[in-house]
């Protein structure tokens, strides 16, 4: 159990950047989605409470796994230890990262 991996996943959700921690990340069974399981949150017994982490705990309460569209994922890192999950605004100038090009299917051309 000491060798369990922890992943930090950053993705866009309704013009906000979500940064969450999880034990398992995979391509999953849904085409075009990243499957995230075993979400990790800090202990509720802390004296200092981060409002964005509390919002995430409430939003994902009772959720066993989430599916995030691949084009919404900003970054996935394997980290040594769990940090604080948070919701933040995109940083100024963060539009320099371009989404993966998607194939364009136009019916009638080359069929």
Q: Residue 47: in which H helix or E strand, if any?
A: none
Burial label for 72, CB within 10 Å (0-12, 13-18, 19+), is middle
pLDDT tens for residues 24-75?
Answer: 999 878 888 999 999 988 765 555 666 767 888 888 888 889 999 998 999 9
Tokens 């085409």 -> residue: 31
Where are the chain's structural domains? 1-64
pLDDT tens for residues 76-89?
Answer: 999 998 888 888 88
Which pLDDT value is given to residue 21? 93
What value does the mean pLDDT take over residues 83-108?
A: 67
């Amino acid at each position: 159990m000491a060798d369990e991996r922890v992943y930090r996943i950053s993705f866009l959700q309704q013009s906000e950047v979500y940064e969450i921690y999880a034990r398992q990340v995979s391509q999953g069974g849904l085409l075009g989605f990243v499957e995230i399981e075993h979400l990790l949150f800090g202990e509720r017994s802390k004296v200092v409470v981060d409002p964005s982490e509390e919002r995430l705990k409430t939003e994902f309460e009772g959720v066993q796994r989430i599916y995030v569209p691949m084009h919404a994922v900003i970054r996935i890192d394997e980290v040594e230890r769990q940090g604080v999950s948070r919701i933040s605004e995109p940083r100024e100038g963060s539009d320099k990262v371009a989404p993966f090009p998607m194939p364009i299917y136009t019916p009638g051309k080359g069929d």
